[in-house]
Amino acid sequence: MGVSVNMSAAIGTVCEAFLYGVYCTLFIISVVILIKHYRVSNRVIWVANCLLFMTSTAHFALVFNHFYITLDHAPFSEFGDETPALMGANLLSSVADLIGDLLLLYRCWFVWGNNFYVIILPLLTALGGFGCILPIPSLVLSIDPTSPIPPTAIVPLTIAGYVLPLCTNIMVTGLIAGRLWHISRVPIINEHGKPVILKIAAGGRPMMLIIESGALYMVTQLILVVLVAIQNPAEAVLSYTGTQIYGIASTLIIIRVGLGSSPERTLPTTSSHLIFWSES
């Protein structure tokens, strides 16, 4: 017997509550690191970090409010039914996804030496995916306002709204991971005038690539696309938790680079154009 939509939604709410607690902790840590390490001048990072946290907070507030109202006033059999508040939460999830994508694109832009051409295609797919998601709430209201999963008629549009950001994540993850791998092997001259190979900062190459390339972000998107495509009720779990995962993945990148643990921050000053942060 498969898991019902209502049970999936309930499990997703509980999981999101846990992940939101983790995200709050990481967000506070990131703020402390940005201030302590004097990364306060980069407005792009501050705005993205704060917007992502506020969006994720608003999403959790709407989901938790729905959980509270359902338990207090409605039977559990209606827990998974779509409501205007949940539609707003779904839209906020896509907004969080877009902000996270833009942060990854910004990261990719810096890692590739401020090369705008590298991020043109991923940027277009990210914006295209968000554009596909925007009309979905109104379409659901006109087709089946209480449908717990996307109505069949709009499944292709929904899939496109998730597939395009996934394409962005795959491209950006590959670009960042490839560039960081290359940087980690760049030969440099040490203080004794001898050629050496630049070593990766503490944390190890696999973990560094997973965190800084946004691989966690990409895997989450991939699983969500598969669940939406097969219209599996378990998509509700990832739909709720995914918003917090987007924030967590982005904040981990900010923390790691803010601490100066990123390999490109260990390059000589002649290669300072590769750093994630703008000090001006």
Which pLDDT tens digit goes with each residue over 216-273?
A: 778 888 888 888 777 777 777 888 888 899 889 888 888 877 676 555 544 443 343 3
pLDDT tens, position by position, 110-164? 888 888 899 999 999 999 989 988 888 777 777 766 665 666 777 788 888 888 9
Residue 162 lies in a domain: yes
| Position 190 confidence tier, pLDDT thresholds 50, 70, 90 | low
Distances (CA, A) of 73 to 10, 76, 148: 16, 9, 18
CB 173 within 8 A of CB 217: yes
CA distance 219 to 210: 11
CA distance 114 to 252: 22
CA distance 178 to 184: 10
User: What integer pLDDT is reported at residue 266 of this predicted model?
Assistant: 43
Rounded to 10°, the helix 136-143/155-183 angle is 160
Residue 279 lies in a domain: no
Residue 123 lies in a domain: yes
Which residue, among 130, 131, 13, has the nearest Cα to 76 in the 3D structure?
Answer: 13
pLDDT tens, position by position, 34-65? 887 765 456 778 888 899 999 999 999 998 88
Residue 248 lies in a domain: yes
CA distance 61 to 45: 24
User: What integer pLDDT is reported at residue 148 of this predicted model?
Assistant: 58
pTM: 0.77
Residue 93 lies in a domain: yes
Question: And the tokens for 243?
Answer: 């918003």
CB 19 within 8 A of CB 239: no
Residue 225 lies in a domain: yes
Residue 280 lies in a domain: no
| Position 214 confidence tier, pLDDT thresholds 50, 70, 90 | low
CA distance 146 to 140: 8
CATH of the domain at 29: 1.20.1070
Range of the domain at 114: 5-274
Looking at the 3D structure of the chain, how many domains does it have?
Answer: 1
Residue 257 lies in a domain: yes
Mean pLDDT over residues 177-198, rounded? 66
Phi, psi of 267 (to 5 degrees): -75, 160
